[in-house]
Amino acid sequence: MREKVAIQLILFYTDFITREKDAHMLESYITVKQDGFSEIEIKKSRFICSVKRVTSEEEAKAFIAAIKKEHWKANHNCSAFVIGEKNDIQRSSDDGEPSGTAGVPMLEVLKKKELINVVAVVTRYFGGIKLGTGGLIRAYSHALSHTLDEIGLVIGKLQQELLITIAYPLLGKAQAFLEHSPYTLKETIYTESIQLICLVDEQATETFIAEMTDLLNGQLTIEKGATSYHELPFNEKGAQANDI
* CA separation, residue 71 to residues 26, 34, 65, 122 (Å): 37, 21, 10, 10
The predicted structure's pLDDT at residue 240? 52
Query: In this predicted model, what pLDDT tens digit does every residue of 147-204 receive, in sequence order?
Result: 999 999 999 999 999 999 999 999 999 999 999 999 999 999 999 999 999 999 989 9
Question: Could you give the CA distance from residue 195 to residue 202 in angstroms, rounded to a whole number?
Answer: 20
Residue 67 falls inside a structural domain: yes
* Shared domain check, 23 and 40: no
DSSP-assigned beta bridge partners for residue 75: none
Q: Give the per-residue pLDDT at 23.
A: 45
Q: Is the pLDDT of residue 66 over 50?
A: yes
Share of the chain above pLDDT 90, in %: 80
Confidence of residue 223 (pLDDT cuts 50, 70, 90): very high
Return d(Cα 75, Cα 66) in angstroms, integer.
16
Segment 23-47 shows an average pLDDT of 91
CATH number of the domain bearing residue 221: 3.30.70.240
Q: What is the pLDDT of residue 192?
A: 95
Q: What is the domain range of residue 173?
A: 6-27+155-234
In a domain, 241, yes or no: no
pLDDT digits (tens, 9 = 90+) for 205-216: 999 999 999 999
**Cross-strand partners of 11:** none
Q: Examine residue 86 and state whether it is found in any structural domain, yes or no.
A: yes
Indicate the residue among 90, 124, 151 that finishes a domain.
151
- For the chain, how many structural domains are there in total? 2
User: Average per-residue pLDDT in the chain?
Assistant: 88
